[in-house]
């Protein structure tokens, strides 16, 4: 082992290059040996290249599936609602397009032609009229 004393950057880079070269040589020898072993096993068991490719493809698919996170717990309400809508649309034979809603009927009409369906917050014009002394029923259509 090299000593733990500080060395110059050039010395360290030289050592790294030498170790990388040595690692490449060892890898090359082990690679050739591994290939020879695989070929010998394929011959011994009568395995074809197509079978190896298929097995590798299956393994890659399983690894990919294992890496994708799976949701745990109950599905979200929005997702469940979307599924229910899709099911209903399929049963009814309708397309995915949303059905357009009709606007709520007008229940109150102001002096300037303003309208309000009676849903949601009271409009400013109606509040001002009521604060001015008029009653809600005065504006009913």
pLDDT tens-digit map of 91-104: 776 555 566 788 89
- Sort 122 into a burial class: Cβ within 10 Å, 0-12 / 13-18 / 19+: middle
Exposure on the CB side of residue 24, measured as CA atoms within 13 A = 6
Q: What is the DSSP letter of 99?
A: P
* Segments making up each domain of the chain, as ranges: 9-67, 108-139
pLDDT at 55: 86
pLDDT, tens digit, for every residue of 111-120? 889 999 999 9
């Amino acid at each position: 082992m090299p000593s733990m004393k500080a060395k110059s950057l050039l010395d360290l880079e030289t050592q790294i290059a030498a170790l990388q070269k040595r690692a490449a040589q060892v890898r090359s020898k082990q690679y050739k040996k591994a290939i020879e072993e695989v070929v010998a096993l394929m011959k011994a068991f009568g395995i074809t290249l197509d079978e190896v490719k298929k097995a590798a493809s299956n393994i890659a698919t399983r690894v990919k599936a294992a890496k994708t996170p799976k949701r745990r717990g109950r599905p979200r309400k929005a997702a469940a609602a979307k599924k229910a809508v899709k099911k209903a649309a399929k049963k009814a034979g309708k397309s995915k397009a949303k059905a357009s809603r009709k606007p709520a009927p007008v229940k109150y009409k102001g002096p300037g032609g303003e309208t309000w369906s009676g849903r949601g917050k009271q409009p400013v014009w109606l509040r001002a009229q009521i604060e001015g002394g008029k009653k809600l029923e005065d504006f009913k259509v």
